[in-house]
Amino acid sequence: MRVTQGMLATNSLRHLSQSYSNMGKYQDQLATGKKINRPSDDPVVAIKGMYYRTNLTEVEQYKRNLSEGYQWMESSESGIEHATQVIQRVRELVVQGSNGSNSPEDLKAIGVEIGQLKEDLANVANTQVAGRYIFNGTKTDSAPVTIDDSGITVDMNTDAFKVEVSNGVKLKVNINPTNVFGSELFNTLQSIEDALNSGSIESGDEFLSKIDEHFDVMSAERSEIGARYNRLEMIDTRIQDQEIIASRILSENEDADIEKVITDLTIQESIHRASLAVSSKIIQPSLIDFLR
């Protein structure tokens, strides 16, 4: 094949520009830290990148929802615990009141305490978390229990308040408030209070068994929320794992391997130098330089 100076020059230029374009690619990768800069660099990486990003956003969101779930459940649980303590105290007072050695004044004093406990319970039922009544189902804007001169009115919503904690999994984060702060409880307390105030507590055993009933229902609700809390914790662990996995996969998918890129760049640099040296040697001499 006949080779001319012009061909050598064109070849040199083509090799140099190819070498520059390779270096440009590595420069982009180093500057951005990404393997690809546009989808066509690698369509699969690009699509996966979109998918993993969405995945990561979702995981982050579920984490946020989880912390909301924790807040609801922990507050609910502490509400139940408080209610349990109140009921235990009421039970003690009823036992104390029904042992027959109390004067009507003593009973009235006990009645006053029961009244106080009742109001305390009403206040717990009206617990607000971040401005929302957590013991009123989905009617979070209004208090479930109202105390006024006519006594205690209970108007409770028992709908489940659900939070999405992972894809398609909606977990109930509130409790059934009627099981803890239901009107029956307040009625029982009211009748105990009334009986004590009237100076005699004849149906003490009946009251005790009623209190025990309430206590059982409360405990059942408490263990149920405990069980759900465990589930929440399990999901939390899983979500945290998922976050780590999603971040790692996202990084594996699209982050440039810096060590490799720098090595490649160094190799490319030496190729480029060689290419420049070769070009300068080849293009210079021609027959003209050697004639005469």
Choosing from 100, 101, 105, 141, the residue that interacts with another protein (CB under 8 A) is 141
User: Nearer to another protein by C-beta: 4 or 150?
Assistant: 4
Interface with another protein (CB under 8 A), residue from 17, 24, 33, 47: 47
3-state secondary structure the chain: CCCCHHHHHHHHHHHHHHHHHHHHHHHHHHHHCECCCCHHHCHHHHHHHHHHHHHHHHHHHHHHHHHHHHHHHHHHHHHHHHHHHHHHHHHHHHHHHCCCCCCHHHHHHHHHHHHHHHHHHHHHHCCEECCEECCCCCCCCCCCEEEECCEEEECCCCCCCEEEEECCEEEECCCCCHHHHCHHHHHHHHHHHHHHHCCCCCCHHHHHHHHHHHHHHHHHHHHHHHHHHHHHHHHHHHHHHHHHHHHHHHHHHHECCHHHHHHHHHHHHHHHHHHHHHHHHHHCCCHHHHCC
Stretch that binds another protein, among 97-105, 180-188, 210-218, 283-291 (CB under 8 A): 283-291
Q: How many residues bind another protein (CB under 8 A)?
A: 52
Contact stretch for another protein (CB under 8 A) within 187-195, 198-206, 260-268, 282-290? 282-290
Looking at the DSSP bridge assignments, the partners of residue 151 are: 148
Residue 41 CB, nearest approach to another protein (Å): 8
Select from 24, 39, 104, 226 the one that contacts another protein (CB under 8 A).
39
Q: Which stretch binds another protein (CB under 8 A): 38-46, 75-83, 99-107, 148-156?
A: 38-46
Q: Residue 145: beta bridge partners? A: 154
Confirm or reject binding of residue 68 to another protein (CB under 8 A). Answer: yes
Candidate ranges 3-11, 186-194, 197-205, 213-221; the one touching another protein (CB under 8 A):
3-11
Which one of 30, 58, 203, 217 is in contact with another protein (CB under 8 A)? Answer: 58
* Contact in structure between 252 and 182 (CB atoms under 8 Å): no
Single out the residue of 170, 238, 248, 260 in contact with another protein (rule: CB under 8 A).
170
CB of 102 to another protein, least distance (A): 45
Q: Classify strands 169-172 and 151-154 as parallel, antiparallel or unpaired.
A: unpaired
Q: Which residue, 43 or 151, has its beta carbon nearer to another protein? A: 43
Examine residue 61 and tell whether it contacts another protein (CB under 8 A): yes
Q: Cα separations (Å) of 270 from 10, 23, 181?
A: 21, 11, 79
Residues 6-25, mask of contacts with another protein (x by CB under 8 A)? xx--xx--x-----------
Q: Which is nearer to another protein, 148 or 291 (CB)?
A: 291
Residues contributing to the site for another protein (CB under 8 A): 1-7, 10-11, 14, 38-43, 46-47, 49-51, 53-54, 57-58, 60-61, 64-65, 68, 130-132, 136-141, 157, 159, 161-164, 167, 170, 254, 286-288, 291
